[in-house]
A and B are shown apart, each in its own frame.
Chain A
Amino acid sequence: MTIACPLPAIDTERIQLGHGSGGKMSAALLRDRFLPHFSNDILAQLGDAAIVDVEGHTLAISTDTFVVQPLEFPGGNIGSLAVHGTVNDLAMMGAQPMWLSAGFVLEEGLPLDVLDRIVRAMADAARAAGVQVITGDTKVVERGKADGIFINTTGIGRRRADFAPAPGRAQPGDAVILSGPLGRHGIAIMSAREGLAFESEVTSDSAALTPLVERLRARVGDAVHTLRDPTRGGLASALNEIAAAARIGIVLDEMSLPIPPAVGAACEMLGFDPLYVANEGVLVAFVPEPLADSAVDALRGHPLGRTAARIGRAVSDHPGMVVLATAIGGTRVVDMLPGDQLPRIC
């Protein structure tokens, strides 16, 4: 009996949307198309921000480009997101964000009042986060080439010598702590998208995480091994990246995952798994077990961290793999998705 499966051709010649989803395709794109050309030690760290030394000062530098659709959504807009996103990338490396640059690609025909709302939101977010936008650039492209507006922000922050969280520092025996509820940003975006229109009270959690990081640092100092904000690709992707970088296993406790009912309901409707939905205002922290209670307590002292909780632990088993202990008593592996989650009927 010959085995002959219908072998589909895989189009490897073009970029697909999945390449931008934060999952396996994104990782492969980085690994195969960019890293071979840009190789250097600093880039090789592949943290949320690059760490450089300039004559005795340690700086963190991070860049991010924002292309979200729709431009305005419950809880924010592309402008506030652009500030929070880069501020958070710096904060996740333990740096104090200081300055941002802002580059704009504007589509011909973008209404000026929309631009005003976006820029005002950026200014408000920057002020609240304690950063200044110190330089920028604007380009205009023809109608149809930019989806309204694309924004790039690059951030510079100052890093202390005594506080250096990094992906590779997570170790077996660490508790995994989550600062807040899952899935709000991704669902808020979905609810505003055409074709899937549903009403919901879910708003994006987009926020600067620096105050939370500062609380952790003040309480447990450099015992904070790793910080990550689980943005695109959700908690599952972020934890898989850390597990791979640190060569550890991670076990999550399903019952302790904080999923707001409205997020859960929207996920049911769309067939989404909340573990893969983007967040823009929560962080994951790896802290040694004996300090976990203290760390959770420190987070809970701030409005953004009111519902902070332990959600799992780092282990030496199954390095590189994230496993979920289900409420019913089973276990399953939480892998990275190849690309985006798509709303499904099945």
Chain B
Amino acid sequence: MKYLTEYRDPQVARALVAEIKKTATQRWVLMEVCGGQTHTIVKQGLDELLGDVVEMVHGPGCPVCVTPLEQIDKALALAARPDVIFTSFGDMLRVPGSDCDLLQVRARGGAVRIVYSPLDALELARRNPDKHVVFFAVGFETTAPANAMAVWRAHELGVKNFSVLVSHVTVPPAMVALLDAPDNRVQAFLAAGHVCTVMGWTEYEPIALKYRVPIIITGFEPLDILEGMLLAVRQLEAGRHEVENQYARAVRREGNQPAQDLVARVFELVDRNWRGIGGIPRSGLGVREEFAAFDAERRFSVGEIRTAEPTVCRAGDVLRGVLKPTECPAFGKLCTPDHPLGAPMVSSEGACAAYHNYGRFRSAV
């Protein structure tokens, strides 16, 4: 596939690995923000290939993992209603709430459907006027434009039986929270390439400056990650701390303006709880008052659902990159993808799930 599979070329990958090893004079600690990047790194064993010069710390860039328990419980309550068709991306179906998950709600008779695009959910609403379709609008800034468009179109077309349950989170506040933590060891970041495709990188410039950390906007294929790591190591070796764009084929400094505009029109910044981390002010998106008719929380009485999240959790340490999945005493024993104890083991993009599925618990490899 053009502009995709070339970035898996083994020969170029080997050359990049060699170049990184040549460039580094000490071991550096890097964090890749995005779950998709974690997936590639662990799947290709990139962190093992470069273990002597780079320590990869896995960031909280998994919207599935960080969706607060509260929002999952609201989703489950909505999905159980006989008048509701609950639609979602596939990722969310196995995430456990306080009591069960969406797959189990489906087993008990709830109408739960996987869709590929939020517009498909809107279309479903138009074709099922006797039901109410709720769409679980989860994701980072990458997905917000799509979800905003679904709300906007519903508004424009006068669709009365469609709403969204929002659990959007934004990256920069999470990065700042990580950097502010006293036990932070991360020296450079591989920023989430697709988030920046939408948002550009202006938000990261003050972060790089204030915290003196290189921030490399990085793609998702093996060559992208490796090149991103190389650029980070070069900056660290030279004592520089700038925002640099590895993912130039997709990302521009200003990002996608029309997308940003519609997101700002439909959503507003709100305080958000991150599962396993806690509350981060102004780190989430909520539906604006003007579009309240399309906010599932306001249309149905699920806004009152409050779930207490334990304030101390190992999953939080993993999401902040302070703990490796393999260092958690429960990893691979009490906590496995079949019986997850925490968020990063539930989602296929979570660090713990990635480590487990790619066999890091088995010392034979």
- The reply to whether A and B meet directly (CB within 8 Å) is yes
Chain A residues near B (Cβ < 8 Å): 1-11, 14-18, 24-25, 195-196, 255, 261, 264-265, 268, 270-271, 317-318, 321, 323, 326-333, 335, 338-339, 342-346
**Residues of chain B contacted by A343 (CB below 8 angstroms):** 89-90, 114, 116
Q: Is the CB of B64 within 8 A of A16?
A: no
Proximity bits, B296-334, A CB within 8 Å = 1, else 0: 000000000000011011110000000000000110000
CA distance A330 to B96 in the complex (A): 33
Q: Is the CB of B108 within 8 A of A14?
A: yes
Q: Is the CB of A9 within 8 A of B96?
A: yes
Using CB atoms, name the residue of chain A closest to B64.
A346
Say how far A276's CB is from chain B's closest CB, in angstroms.
11
**Residues of chain B contacted by A338 (CB below 8 angstroms):** 337-338
Q: Is the CB of B91 within 8 A of A342?
A: yes
Q: Which of B1, B4, B106, B357 contacts A335 (CB 8 A)?
A: B357
CA distance A326 to B93 in the complex (A): 30
- 5 pairs from A and B in contact (CB 8 Å cutoff): A195-B115, A328-B44, A333-B359, A344-B89, A344-B91
Given A8-B97, A338-B337, the answer on whether A346 and B91 have CB atoms closer than 8 Å is yes
**Residues of chain B contacted by A323 (CB below 8 angstroms):** 359, 365
Given A6-B309, A14-B108, A326-B45, the answer on whether A345 and B89 have CB atoms closer than 8 Å is yes
Q: Which of A5, A16, A261 contacts B107 (CB 8 A)?
A: A16
CA distance A333 to B356 in the complex (A): 9
Q: Is the CB of A333 within 8 A of B358?
A: yes
Q: Is the CB of B100 within 8 A of A321?
A: no
Task: Kindly identify, within residues 28 to 77 of chain B, every residue whose CB is under 8 Å from any CB belonging to chain A.
Answer: 35-36, 42-46, 48-49, 62-64, 69
Q: Which of A11, A16, A18, A346 contacts B36 (CB 8 A)?
A: A346
CA distance A329 to B24 in the complex (A): 21
CA distance A37 to B94 in the complex (A): 30
B275 at the interface (CB under 8 A from A): yes
Task: Kindly identify, within residues 10 to 31 of chain B, every residue whose CB is under 8 Å from any CB belonging to chain A.
Answer: 10, 13-14
Which of B152-160, B258-266, B341-349 touches A?
B341-349
Given A9-B96, A14-B107, the answer on whether A264 and B90 have CB atoms closer than 8 Å is no
Q: Which of A8, A18, A332, A346 contacts B349 (CB 8 A)?
A: A346
Task: Kindly identify, within residues 101 to 125 of chain B, every residue whose CB is under 8 Å from any CB belonging to chain A.
Answer: 101, 103-104, 106-108, 113-116, 120
B180 at the interface (CB under 8 A from A): no
**Residues of chain A contacted by B106 (CB below 8 angstroms):** 17
**Residues of chain B contacted by A17 (CB below 8 angstroms):** 103, 106-107
CA distance A326 to B17 in the complex (A): 15
**Residues of chain A contacted by B81 (CB below 8 angstroms):** none
B362 at the interface (CB under 8 A from A): yes
Say how far A102's CB is from chain B's closest CB, in angstroms.
30
Using CB atoms, name the residue of chain A closest to B72.
A8
**Residues of chain B contacted by A345 (CB below 8 angstroms):** 89-91, 139, 143
Given A6-B275, A328-B10, the answer on whether A346 and B338 have CB atoms closer than 8 Å is no
Given A6-B313, A24-B338, A346-B62, the answer on whether A321 and B359 have CB atoms closer than 8 Å is yes
B181 at the interface (CB under 8 A from A): no
Q: Is the CB of A5 within 8 A of B341?
A: yes
Q: Is the CB of B222 within 8 A of A328?
A: yes
CA distance A110 to B49 in the complex (A): 57
Q: Which of A195, A268, A321 contacts B120 (CB 8 A)?
A: A195
A-B interface contact total, Cβ < 8 Å? 157
Q: Is the CB of B45 within 8 A of A335?
A: no
B238 at the interface (CB under 8 A from A): no
* Tier of interface size on chain B: 35 or more
Additional A-B contacts beyond A5-B314, A10-B339, A318-B365 (13; CB < 8 A):
A5-B335, A8-B340, A17-B103, A195-B120, A255-B10, A327-B10, A327-B13, A328-B44, A328-B222, A335-B357, A339-B94, A342-B114, A346-B63
Q: Is the CB of B338 within 8 A of A2?
A: no
CA distance A6 to B62 in the complex (A): 17
Given A265-B1, A327-B8, A333-B362, the answer on whether A5 and B43 have CB atoms closer than 8 Å is no
**Residues of chain A contacted by B107 (CB below 8 angstroms):** 11, 14-17
CA distance A276 to B5 in the complex (A): 20
Q: Is the CB of A5 within 8 A of B315?
A: yes
Say how far B118's CB is from chain A's closest CB, in angstroms.
10
Q: Is the CB of B49 within 8 A of A344?
A: no
Using CB atoms, name the residue of chain B closest to A317.
B364
CA distance A265 to B5 in the complex (A): 10
Q: Which of B44, B89, B312, B343 contacts A4 (CB 8 A)?
A: B312
B130 at the interface (CB under 8 A from A): no
B99 at the interface (CB under 8 A from A): yes
Given A196-B116, A329-B49, A345-B143, the answer on whether A1 and B312 have CB atoms closer than 8 Å is yes
Q: Is the CB of B14 within 8 A of A5?
A: no
Q: Is the CB of B310 within 8 A of A4?
A: yes
CA distance A270 to B116 in the complex (A): 8
Q: Is the CB of B69 within 8 A of A6?
A: yes
Say how far B180's CB is from chain A's closest CB, in angstroms.
19
Q: Which of A11, A15, A195 contacts B113 (CB 8 A)?
A: A195
Say how far A172's CB is from chain B's closest CB, in angstroms.
14
Using CB atoms, name the residue of chain A closest to B309.
A6
**Residues of chain A contacted by B99 (CB below 8 angstroms):** 9
**Residues of chain A contacted by B97 (CB below 8 angstroms):** 8
Using CB atoms, name the residue of chain A closest to B115.
A195
Using CB atoms, name the residue of chain A closest to B48.
A330
Q: Is the CB of A3 within 8 A of B359?
A: no
Q: Is the CB of A330 within 8 A of B46?
A: yes
**Residues of chain A contacted by B330 (CB below 8 angstroms):** 5
Say how far A9's CB is from chain B's closest CB, in angstroms.
6
Q: Is the CB of A330 within 8 A of B340?
A: no
5 residue pairs, one from A and one from B, having the closest CB atoms: A333-B359, A330-B45, A8-B96, A342-B90, A318-B364
B5, B310, B359, B362 — most chain A CB neighbours (10 Å): B359
